[in-house]
Each structure stands twice: as structure tokens, then as C-alpha cells.
Structure 1
Amino acid sequence: MTTVIDLNVKTKYIPEYKKGYPLINKDTIVNTNVLKDEGSIFHLYDSGHQFIAKGYHGKQNKGLGWVLTHNKAEAIDFAFFKSRIQVALDARHSFYQNTETTAFRVFNGEGDGIGGFTIDYFDGYYLINWYSTGIYTFKDHVIRAIDELCGYKAIYEKKRFDTKGQYIDDDDFVKGTRGEFPIIVKENGMNYAVYLNDGAMVGVFLDQRQVRKAIRDKYSKGKNVLNTFSYTGAFSVAAVLGGAIKTTNVDLAKRSKSKTIEQFSVNGIDYEQQDIKVMDVFEYFKYAKRKELKFDAVILDPPSFARSKKHTFSTAKDYPALIKDTIAITEKSGVIVASTNNASFGMRKFKGFIDKAFKEMNTSYKFLEEFSLPSDFKINPSFPQGNYLKVLIVEKR
């Protein structure tokens, strides 16, 4: 019989866990020292030793584990994982029926009841992202559940953990028939080249689906568009297909150029008519100001934290300065698509960053639209940090 660890919740956090808060961390637990092996099961108790919840130990960022159930008698076994994955699949039924979008999230961690892993679907291929050694101990349950519930071409995985919290770069293939990459997936009728066997990133971030559609449908026609931190140019594909006159793509990563060329090419776009620059975004802003360049639309989707030879950037403290740089090269009545995936602050604070920047530039603005995670990225209402994506479309007045 598996040994279950008893964890005592600090008094002030008891109401949160009773309401469904799913993340365990050292600040909420009295006796974290009893946690040893990742993957072990724990029970949460209040100060009167009344049962609150059951979960597993897995180190993820600052967390120590996740609550799985508030039913003490419920076993954390194959049947548990299968039932949660079945519910998630049923909730995405409409996505499977949509021939214009063939890539989406099937299981979104704690939003679907089991924190620590996600499952994405790419036109017949399933990709599991594991975020801790603890959840990886349940790998066989998850694989078997996909086996029994889904038809597939192949299953791939990304192990986004090691002792230093880094991605483990090894063979990502799990089972099925190995894919010939890239595979081409559709998103609202647009094509994207995807690699499930080539490092941590696959080529497109599925959580930005609604934003790309808005850029294509509302904010690109006849526009000169700058796409910063452009990665594989996915936003620029949407802009060109929406009628943009030209896109300029800027990213420091050397491979971003070939990846962006590929994304243009699979959509029948002449990449030679677009600008693709491999350089530091902050250096590009200086260059654009010197050359007095102006853009009708600027897309900002920086990583939460980035470091280059000359700059260290953190969204939590540097986003207002980034917006100020952007305002300076945006045409009057132009739009700024400001995005962040930093979970440490909410939409209200993010809007404050925008307001601060415009006030310091003595420029007026108007919020046109805002976006958070799409419906396939299900969130736990008791865990607001899980709704990490914040996107604001701002018009410079």
C-alpha cells in the first residue's frame, strides 16, 4: 500500500484550499519538510486534523505539488487520470469537428483537474508537456488513457524539467508512427509549420489563436506592420493574410529567420517581400528612431524574462519602457498589440503599464480589445494565476 503523507495547512490558507485553490507551496504548509519523493501522494489537513484535499508532490517553479481531489476515498490511479482526460476531451468536441483549426489544447493542467502537465493536439498527433518529475511518475496512466480514448498518428512529449528547472532535450517520440516534420496544421484557415521533435518549442503558440485572427481580420489591411520578438513570424503570417502591405520581423534568435521564411512559405507568401531581421529588439527600436521609421501596427509579445549581451528585460518592471519605445515609432491612429504571458500580475496591472507609458509620452490612447486564454485553455476559477495570458490592442490617438 502506498504511504500517504500528511500535510498541515497554515490557518490563514485553509479557506483557500477548501474553495478549490490547487497549488501547494512552502508558504501555505506547516511541515513541508516531510515531502521527500516526487510523485508521492499527500493529504491536506486543517488545524483540527480535518481532511481538506488529496494531491501529489511535484516541484514546479515555486510550487511543491498540486491538489487532485477533495474526495479522500478517491484513488489516484489509472481510472482517475482516464476520467479527467475523458471529461477534457468531451469539452473540446467542437474543436475536433472544426476543419479550419486542427491544432488546439486538449488538457490544460489544473484547469482540467490535474496540475503539472498539458496535452496539445496537432492534426492527429498528441504532444504531452510534463512540468515536474512528480507528474512524470504518472506517465504510464496518461499514455494509456490517450491510447484508450483517442485515435492518433503518434504521441510525443516534452520534459520541461530537470534539477535546474530546464527543458530536457532528448528523443521526444513516445509511440505510434513517427511524423515527418514539419507537419502543417491549420488555424482559422491559416497554415503553420509545426515540429514536435525539435527542442522545447514547436513553432506556434496555440494560446494566441484569437489574437492572430483579430490581427488578420481587423488590424492589418493596408498596414505597415512591425512584429517584435517575432519568433517564427506567426503574427506576421496573420497580418499578411489580412492585407498588410509589409511586415518587419525582429528577433534575436538566429534560427528565427529560417523559421519565419518557412511560415511565410507554407502560406504561399513571398518572404522576399517581407523584412526579417535577426537582431536585438531594443537595438532595433534605436535604429528605427534614428531612421525616423513609423509603423501602422506594432506587435509586442516579449518573453517574461530575456537577456541579451546589452539588455536584461523583465515584463514585471520593464514593460512601460518597452511601450514608450513603441509609441515613438507608431503612427498616429496606429495600433499596438501588447501581450504578456507573465502570471505574476493581472490584467488590471497590465493596463496600468500601458497607461503609465502613454502618460509619460504625453500621448492619448484608447483600448480597442483585450484577450485572455481561449476556451480550450481551460482555467480553474480558484487559481487566477492560471489565466496568464493578457493581450491589449491599443490605438494611439
Structure 2
Amino acid sequence: MLDRLAPLLARRAHLPAQGTSFYRGVHTSETGGQFALDLAGDAGVLSLYADLSPAEEVKLAGACAAAARLAGVYLKRRPPEARHAANVARDWLSPPEPVWGEARTEVTVLEHGVPFLLRPGSDLSIGLFADARPARQWVRTHAPARVLNAFAYTCGFGLSAALGGSATVKNVDLSRKVLAWGQENYALSGLGAPDGDFLYGDVFDWFRRLARRGDTFDLVVLDPPSFARGKAGIWRAERDYARLAALAAAVIAPDGQILTLLNHAGVSAANLDRMVRLGLEESGRHCRPAKRLSAGEDFPGATHLKGAVWALDGRAG
């Protein structure tokens, strides 16, 4: 397998020339599901799905660094239970120091020429999801006047809308830390980032609050986690996505759109469609899929990410 790293990386060599320095260099479909390698400038992020000894982890990281000419490699251990254990085993799942080479506390990368700030050792999620790059590009290309970016994380979709010309963009997330990170991303592109455009709090509560105020948006972006614990209980996408879509419908303008994404290998595209349609139609909104979105070319054979843009008619509320 290690002798195949260089040819696999060579298949993506055109991406930096196209203004993208953050991408997947080797996908799990190319390694028998054992590992994946993301490139963030001269830093590597090695996602490990196999159970290796510490010496084997270092050897694999060194091989990846040599093949991709990286200064350092960070390790993300991703056992099946990682999404449940992230808050109790954080340092083991995502060691803050590189497993090989030099540290890169922060790295500024490009995506279609747009700069983003990444922190390779900060967590299992380093600041941007490479597989959503085509969806962010769609938002930037089609940016309508008013956009609501729910589960904003570091505000990649919101920034894409603002760069595309949207006049109003609101980013909502339960973490003040990632919203502040999003404001840093705005600043990298020279955009103003007033606090009023970064809404801290529970997304479900914000949907209700915005609906009561009569606020509507031409595009709502839904990119929720597949699993999360909160004050209101446990969120499971396979159970709760329809309810989320119904709440979102109340703040979508007449003839508006909703972009739905889900990274969950256990939920098929057909099941996600069913939940979205159920939630929207129970809210009295007629809908039709207008665009399918998936991971980019650097994720060959990927089926984990499901995405669609839905066109709605009928009035909000």
C-alpha cells in the first residue's frame, strides 16, 4: 500500500494549481478503508480507521510525509465509536502534537482561491470539511440576497455566500469558539464580520425565534452533525432530520431554496430525501430537488456525503 501513495497523490496534483491547497490526498476507498490523508498546505492530517501500534502509526505518517513532501503529520484516530467518545477521549482521538515532523498550530489554506484558517491539532475537525467543497462552491456561485447558514461551524458556507454577493448572511452555531473562528475566516477575505451576523445558540431555538420575528431567507443551509448531545437531548440525524427541515421551512422565503447535507454512511440518499420531503411538506411547503451535491473528485467512490438543493414554493410560516 505504501508504495502506492505517490501515484495516488499525483492524481490530485492539479488541485493546487487551481487554487485549492486543502484537499484529500488519499481516500479510504483507495486504502481498503484503513486510512485517509488530507493535505493542508505542508501539513498532513492522517485519519486512521485501522488499529495500529504506535510504531506502525509513526511509520505510516512518515511514509505519507515523504510521499506528499509534508513538514508534519497530525493523527486522527477514528474508531466506529469516535463520534460518541470525542468529548471524553479527545487527546487520544486527536493528539494536539504531530505524530511525525514539525508542528503547524495554524495553517492558512486556499479553496478555489479563498483563504481559510485551519488548526490541524485542535480536534477531530480541523476547521473545514474538504468533502463539502463542491457544495460551498455552489453556494458561492448561486448566492441569493439573504442566506441563513445553520450549524455554521467556522462559517465556510456563510463566507461563500458573502463572497458570492449575498447582501445578508447569518451564521448560527452552538459554539462561540467556532463562530469567532468563522469571523477570522471572513477577515482573511477582507470582509466585515459584525457580531450580529454570527448568532450563538441552539439552531432549533434560533429557527423558532427567527420565525416569530418574521425573518425569511432565500437560502437556508443545513449541515448538521450526524450525532450530538445538547441540553434538549440527543440529536440523531437518522431520526430527527425531518423535524429540522420542518423548522427551517418556516424561515424560507416564497420560492426560496434549502441546501441539505449529511455526512452519515448509515443514511442513504433516498432516506435523507424522504426525511427532507416529509419535513417540508408537513410544513405546507411544496418542494422538488433542484441540484444534487456530492463530495469532490478527491473522494473517489465516496457515498458518505449526501447533499441536495431543494426548490420550494408556497409561503413560509
Fold match, TM over 0.5? yes
Matched position secondary structure for 2:3? helix
Q: Is the 8 A contact 2:73 2:98 kept in 1?
A: yes
State how 1:11-160 maps to structure 2 within 5 Å.
Answer: 81-98=1-18, 100-109=19-28, 111-134=29-52, 138-160=56-78
Assess if the C-alpha contact under 8 Å between 1:246 and 1:274 holds in 2: no
Compare relative contact order (CA 8 Å, sep 6+) and give the higher one, 1 or 2: 2
**Structure 2 runs not aligned, ≥5 long:** none
* Change in CA separation of 1:239 and 1:154 when aligned onto 2, cut-off 3 Å: same
2:180 counterpart letter in structure 1:
S
C-alpha contact 1:358 1:365 (8 A) present in aligned 2: yes
Task: Determine if the alignment matches structure 1 residue 263 to structure 2 residue 172.
Answer: no
Partner of 1:198: 122
Is the helix fraction higher in 1 or 2? 2
Residue 167 of structure 2 corresponds to 245
Closer/same/farther in 2, CA of residues 274 and 216 from structure 1, 3 Å limit: farther
Alpha-carbon shift at residue 291 of structure 1 (Å): 1.1
Change (3 A) 1:136 1:297: farther
Aligned match for 1:396, one of 309, 312, 316: 312
Tell me how far 1:165 sits from its aligned partner: 5.0
> Which of 97, 103, 108 matches 1:184?
108
* Cα deviation digits, residues 10-54 of structure 1 (max 9, x gap): xxxxxxxxxxxxxxxxxxxxxxxxxxxxxxxxxxxxxxxxxxxxx
Q: In 2, Cα distance between the equivalents of 1:200 and 1:113?
A: 20
Contact 2:95–2:121 under 8 Å retained in 1: no
Between 1:127-136 and 1:308-317, the stretch displaced more is 127-136
Match of 1:236 among 146, 150, 158: 158
Tell me: CA distance 1:145–1:256, structure 2 relative to 1, closer, same or farther (3 Å): closer
Cα distance in 1 for partners of 2:26, 2:136 equals: 22
Deviation of the 1:90 alpha carbon: 2.9
- The letter of the residue matching 1:88 is L
How many pairs does the alignment contain? 306
- TM-superposed CA distance for 1:155, in Å, is 2.0
2-structure distance, mates of 1:142, 1:339: 32
Kindly tell me: are residues 377 and 190 of structure 1, through their superposed partners in 2, closer, same or farther at Cα, counting changes over 3 Å? same
Deviations 1:240-267 (A, max 9, x none): 0000111111111231221111111111
Indicate conservation of the 8 Å contact 1:104/1:121, yes or no.
Answer: yes
TM-score (norm 2): 0.89
Aligned partner of 1:200: which letter?
L
1:340 equivalenced with 2:262 (yes/no): yes
CA RMSD of aligned residues (A): 2.1
Residue aligning to 2:95:
170
Shift of residue 396 of structure 1? Answer: 1.0
Give the partner amino acid of 2:139.
Answer: I
The CA deviation at 1:147 is 4.4
Distance in 2 between residues matched to 1:101 and 1:315, nearest whole Å: 30
Q: Distance in 2 between matches of 1:183 and 1:113?
A: 26
Residue 370 of structure 1 corresponds to which residue in structure 2?
292
Over alpha carbons, which structure has the higher Rg?
Answer: 1
Give secondary structure in 2 for the equivalent of 1:173: coil
Aligned sequence identity (%)? 24
Displacement of 1:360 after TM fit?
Answer: 1.6
Once residues 95 and 84 of structure 1 are traced to their aligned partners in structure 2, the CA distance between those partners, rounded to angstroms, is 19
Amino acid at match of 1:396: L
Code of the aligned partner of 1:338: T
Distance 1:286 1:217 in 2: 29
Cα drift, residue 135 of structure 1: 7.3
Q: Is the 8 A contact 2:65 2:72 kept in 1?
A: no
* Corresponding residue to 1:358 among 266, 280, 295: 280
The superposition leaves residues 66-124 of structure 1 with CA deviations (integer Å, 9 ceiling, x where unpaired) of: xxxxxxxxxxxxxxx322323321322322443x1111001112x00332321111112
1:85 partner SS: helix
* SS of residue paired to 1:157: strand
Q: Is the 8 A contact 2:72 2:103 kept in 1?
A: yes
2:242 pairs, out of 300, 320, 345, with 320
Aligned counterparts of 1:307 and 1:283: Cα–Cα separation in 2: 15
2:172 match: secondary structure: strand
What amino acid is aligned across from residue 2 of structure 2 in structure 1? K
2:166 is matched by which residue type in structure 1? A
In the TM superposition, residue 136 of structure 1 has moved relative to its aligned partner by 5.9
Deviates more, 1:286-295 or 1:268-277: 268-277
Q: Counterpart of 2:279 in 1: which secondary structure?
A: helix
The C-alpha deviation readout for 1:302-321, integer Å capped at 9, x for no partner, is 00112211243211111111
Q: Counterpart in 2 of 1:49?
A: none
- After the TM superposition, which of the residue ranges 122-131 and 161-170 deviates more from structure 2? 161-170
Query: Is 1:249–1:277's contact at 8 Å kept on the other side of the alignment?
Result: yes
Could you list the structure 1 runs, at least 4 aligned residues long, displaced by more than 6 angstroms after superposition. Answer: none
Instruction: Evaluate the alpha carbon distance shift between residue 387 and residue 136 of structure 1 in structure 2; reply closer, same or farther with a 3 A threshold.
Output: farther
Give the whole-Å Cα distance in 1 for the aligned partners of 2:113 and 2:266. 33
- Secondary structure, aligned partner of 1:270: coil
Q: Please report the TM-score for the alignment, with normalisation by the length of structure 1.
A: 0.72
